[in-house]
Structures are given as structure tokens and as C-alpha cells.
A and B are shown apart, each in its own frame.
Chain A
């Protein structure tokens, strides 16, 4: 697949910038992940995707579906051998605090990203995704990033440091396109830790039971996506009508859906390797808005 140029949060403009802000606030995360930044390379599609997905993403139902998916992943990997990367490297207390924060952030975000990707993939394939509820009628969650959530800090995709560069090349080759996943770019802030973790994660990814587990996660995400509360009004025809390259959008979406289950399994192993992980509040608290605001929004 040809390399797709991601739209960075700082370079985003116009509607993409607006959607980035709404995404961060609605998903209650401190940044926009690689998957979404890749979609943003097709701006009209990206805005339409958010119009279709946004009402779902802000519901408690969506978060519970994502939390259930993540629990499945955790249950799958908990019986696997301990990764041992966390204890293998010499990191100081502050470094561990930051690395743990990065893992907590991705733990809160990645399952929801997979759910979104699965929903979009199914919709583009012509499936009826989501129920026929009226957007806004279900319980919604508060907006805003939790106070404890770490900043989404990444090493550049083409780092100057040779070790990180070769790790990134290997990671991308192993997990597939598009681009180096965000959690690995985040962990690259501590190259020795990323190296220790990747050295242990990679061999396991070739095993049959890993592949089967990834397939199971993918299927589960699709099932959950089909039961989203509101219809996801996206189709190849709509994307074409917006003037976007349908095939390119579909290819990127397929690539994302192909690799995210494996990334989730790896993330689960990383998380289970770290003592004292603090979960981000998920699902969040209910969104409380004055009646007149709600009425205005539902008009």
C-alpha cells in the first residue's frame, strides 16, 4: 500500500481541525491517534465519518462496547507468558511514570478506535451498521480529557537515533501499514524499553494461537460495531459523491482493521507486564447539560 501522509494535529486546518478537537473532547483523550490521522488524509471522508460516528462515540453504549472488547483482549492474553520487558530495563521512577501514562492512554483509546474502524469498514462494505435510534436519545458521556491522562507524546516517525529507526522499520514491516502505530512511537521515548518490549512481542505474533486470537478480536469488534446505537450513514457511494478516492479510503480502512486486533493483543501484554497500572475512568461520567441545551442539540 502506498504510504498515506497523516495529518498532524498541529498541521490540521479547517474542518479536519474542528473534527480533531471534537474527537479529542468526545473520546476524552489527549491526542488523535495514527489511525484517525491517516483517515484525515481524505478530509471530506473524514468529516463524513465523524458525522456518522460522532453521535455513537459519545454514548455510554459505545464505551461499554469498547470496554467489553478490551476485557476480551485482556482475558485472552492473561494466560500467556509474562512479557518481562518492564522489569528487564533500567528506567528511573519518572521514566516509569511517563511510560505507564502512555500505556494507560492507549488502553483507554485503542479499543474505541478499533470499534470505529470496524464500523466504518462494515459500512463501506455495504452492511447496515448500528440500530435505528434517534441520535441524542441515549445517555451520553461527559466531554473533555480526564485530568490524569498523559499527553500523547511521540517520537518522530523518522527518528534521528539509529536504534529507534531500525525498530520502527521492523515494527511497521511486522504489523503492516499505515505507518508506525502511535503506541510504539510513544514508547520510543524510552528506546531501551521499546526494544525490550518489541523483542519479546514480535516472535509471539507469528504463532497460530496469536493469529487465531487476533481473528477472534476482529470478529468481536465487528459484532459489536453492528450493534452500535445509531445508524452509521456511510457507504462507498457517499464517499464517491464527496469526491474522495473510494478505493484508497477502503484500502486504508482495511489495513487499519487488519492490524488493530494484533496491536490490541500486544498492548494488552504490555499493560499486563506493568504493575500498578491505573485505569483511566472509562466509561466516563454522564454528560449533564441543561435541558434547553439538550433540546437545542436535538432539534
Chain B
């Protein structure tokens, strides 16, 4: 499916003075798929249809991203994103949902799970921002008004396209996929909005939830592309270590965009997880140093 077809499937919901564009497919227990940066809900276009055969699949564009509200008038931090999603779920009549977050969407999912625990029935983190693994230098640089003023949309998309192709995938993506992932940012409004989104990338937004991850009382799956060059798998391992009962799946031959590199494997794992398979912990061995010195153990 190309990006315009995906966009055609998007509905829209006004939340006060902002609005969220989203895809709402299928029937059954709800699953929310959250995208990261610099992408939009289209990143899930290969998986959403399959999941919708047995679930109600809700795929929003985060505020400031894709075709949700991108005006220069609101805070895009992870905590605000989580609040907006909570209001959005409320308006859709969704009491609770399995929440699947990729990259920055994983950070939003963590915020949602920690701050609105009743909303999250299951949590799945895919190559998620976490701890101090982010923001990446490129994104941090993009998040300066100075940079946004000096770039043209074509230039910015060119740089991001190169970054996605060279670091995002284990297998060479098609031009259509890369173009689709960046399509909403091809205009000046899109470019500026992405820069504002980048301003909101802030390590503290994940560090603040880290101490509370251990208290999550829902099934958790942490899935990672074994060849992720953007957010190394060690951060996934750390999440599994910190979240009791979390299941750890490392997808071979997949990079950061594991849903494109290994769609079948990712879909199968998601189905198994959503169907309520009992969590199996494959937490990595606890380092001896950590046993001896606690969390402040030297790296």
C-alpha cells in the first residue's frame, strides 16, 4: 500500500483545539500501534491489515507528526503525547488497549503505561527509545529553530532519507517505502513541525518513567531488531531486566525498522503476545558487577 492510500484510510478526531488523524480497522480487542520519528502511522501499514483480522487496530499519527495537527501551537513532549492519546482513546470509547510502540512511540507507550495504567492492557516495545539511548545527534540537531530555518524541506527529507536507508534497515528498503515514511514532511509546514517534534526529544522524558517500569502489572513484550544501528539491542535487554516478567524477542536479520525488515516474524510474535500467551522471561543474565555494586555499577 502506498502512503496516499494509507492516508485515504485515515479518520480524524478533534480533541479540543487539536486534532488526531488515525486509522481504525477491524473488530475485537483494541490494539494501538504507535510510530516513532521521523515517521508516521504509515510505518505500520504492512502489519495493520493482518492484525485487523482479529483485533480492532487503532493507528494514530502522534500530534505534530503525519497528518495529525502540526501547527506551531502545542507541546509535543512524550508526556503530552500520552495525555492526548488518553483523551483520544476516551473519545473513541476504548477503555483499555494493548499498546505497541516503536522508537519514540515506545517512549509514549511507556508514559501511557506508567501514567494511565488502566488504559494499557498489554505493552509491547519495539526498538523503543528508553533510558538515555536518545535523542540521536541528527535528531537533536534537527530540533533547533536555527537548523529548521536553514534547511529546505527537500534538503531535510534528503538527509533523513539517507539516514533511514543507511541506518534504519537491515535489508534495502524500496524507494516507495522511504518516500512514504517521510511524505508528510515534504512541505515547509511538515518540515517545521518535524523540527518542533525533534525539540521535544528529551532523555528526561524516558528517565522519568524508568524507576516505575518495575511496577508495571501487565504483560510486556520487548522486541528488537538484532541489527538495529539506531537504538542498540542492549537497551532492550535493559528494559527486560527492569520489567518483571517481560518477554524478550530479538529478531534476527532485522534493523531498527523491524516491521519492514521482518514483517512476518514481527506479526507472528505480536499475534502470540496479543492472544495472551503466558509471558516467558528471557531476561539477560544479571551482571556480577551489578549484584556487587547495585545500579550504579561501572559500565
Chain B interface residue count: which class?
20 to 34
A94 near B10 (CB under 8 angstroms)?
A: yes
Q: Which residues of chain B are within 8 angstroms of A153 by Cβ–Cβ distance?
A: 187-190
Q: Which residues of chain A are within 8 angstroms of B273 by Cβ–Cβ distance?
A: none
Quick one: closest B residue to A30, CB to CB? B71
**Contact partner of A94 among B12, B72, B153, CB < 8 A?**
B12
A9 in contact (CB, < 8 A)? yes
A92 near B9 (CB under 8 angstroms)?
A: yes
Mark each residue of chain B from 187 to 198: 1 if its CB lies under 8 Å from any CB of chain A, else 0.
Answer: 111101000000
A154 to B10, CA, bound (A): 20
**Contact partner of A92 among B11, B19, B188, B192, CB < 8 A?**
B11
A148 to B154, CA, bound (A): 28
Mark each residue of chain B from 175 to 202: 1 if its CB lies under 8 Å from any CB of chain A, else 0.
Answer: 0000000000011111010000000000
- Given A10-B149, A151-B189: A156 and B154 interface contact (C-beta under 8 Å): yes
- Given A98-B67, A151-B71, A156-B154: A91 and B8 interface contact (C-beta under 8 Å): yes
Q: Which residues of chain A are within 8 angstroms of B71 by Cβ–Cβ distance?
A: 30, 150-151
A95 near B188 (CB under 8 angstroms)?
A: no
B190 near A147 (CB under 8 angstroms)?
A: no
In chain B, residues 67-112, which have Cβ atoms closer than 8 Å to a Cβ of chain A? 67, 70-73
B188 near A10 (CB under 8 angstroms)?
A: yes
In chain A, residues 237-253, which have Cβ atoms closer than 8 Å to a Cβ of chain B? none
Mark each residue of chain A from 177 to 203: 1 if its CB lies under 8 Å from any CB of chain B, else 0.
Answer: 000000000000100000000000000
What is the interface size of chain A, counting residues whose CB is below 8 A from a CB of the partner?
Answer: 22
A148 near B17 (CB under 8 angstroms)?
A: yes
Q: Which residues of chain A are within 8 angstroms of B12 by Cβ–Cβ distance?
A: 93-94, 97
Tell me the smallest distance from the CB of B125 to a CB of chain A, in Å. Answer: 27
Q: Which residues of chain A are within 8 angstroms of B11 by Cβ–Cβ distance?
A: 92-94
B10 near A156 (CB under 8 angstroms)?
A: no
Chain A interface SS verdict (over half) = loop
A92 near B8 (CB under 8 angstroms)?
A: yes
Q: Which residues of chain B are within 8 angstroms of A147 by Cβ–Cβ distance?
A: 17, 73
Q: Which residues of chain B are within 8 angstroms of A9 by Cβ–Cβ distance?
A: 188
Q: Which residues of chain A are within 8 angstroms of B154 by Cβ–Cβ distance?
A: 156
**Contact partner of B10 among A10, A92, A152, A189, CB < 8 A?**
A92
Quick one: closest B residue to A185, CB to CB? B187
Q: Which residues of chain A are within 8 angstroms of B19 by Cβ–Cβ distance?
A: 97
A155 to B19, CA, bound (A): 21
A147 to B16, CA, bound (A): 10
Tell me the smallest distance from the CB of B67 to a CB of chain A, in Å. Answer: 6
Quick one: closest B residue to A192, CB to CB? B4
B148 in contact (CB, < 8 A)? yes
Q: Which residues of chain A are within 8 angstroms of B192 by Cβ–Cβ distance?
A: 10
B189 near A152 (CB under 8 angstroms)?
A: yes
Tell me the smallest distance from the CB of A96 to a CB of chain B, in Å. Answer: 8
Mark each residue of chain B from 153 to 170: 1 if its CB lies under 8 Å from any CB of chain A, else 0.
Answer: 110000000000000000
Quick one: closest A residue to B151, CB to CB? A10
B54 in contact (CB, < 8 A)? no
Q: Which residues of chain B are within 8 angstroms of A91 by Cβ–Cβ distance?
A: 8
A92 to B23, CA, bound (A): 10
B188 near A154 (CB under 8 angstroms)?
A: yes
Q: Which residues of chain B are within 8 angstroms of A8 by Cβ–Cβ distance?
A: 188
Tell me the smallest distance from the CB of A154 to a CB of chain B, in Å. Answer: 6
A95 to B61, CA, bound (A): 13
Mark each residue of chain A from 145 to 165: 1 if its CB lies under 8 Å from any CB of chain B, else 0.
Answer: 001101111111000000000
B7 in contact (CB, < 8 A)? yes
B39 in contact (CB, < 8 A)? no
A151 near B70 (CB under 8 angstroms)?
A: yes
Tell me the smallest distance from the CB of B60 to a CB of chain A, in Å. Answer: 11
Tell me the smallest distance from the CB of A65 to a CB of chain B, in Å. Answer: 28
Mark each residue of chain B from 1 to 34: 1 if its CB lies under 8 Å from any CB of chain A, else 0.
Answer: 0000001111110000101011000000000000
Mark each residue of chain A from 75 to 114: 1 if its CB lies under 8 Å from any CB of chain B, else 0.
Answer: 0000000000000001111110110000000000000000
Binding site for A on B (CB under 8 A): 7-12, 17, 19, 21-22, 67, 70-73, 148-149, 153-154, 186-190, 192
The 7 closest A-B pairs by CB, nearest first: A94-B10, A153-B189, A92-B8, A94-B21, A94-B12, A147-B17, A97-B12
Binding site for B on A (CB under 8 A): 8-10, 30, 90-95, 97-98, 147-148, 150-156, 189
**Apart from A8-B188, A93-B10, A98-B67: 10 A-B pairs, beta carbons within 8 A:** A91-B8, A94-B12, A95-B10, A95-B67, A97-B19, A147-B17, A147-B73, A151-B71, A156-B154, A156-B186
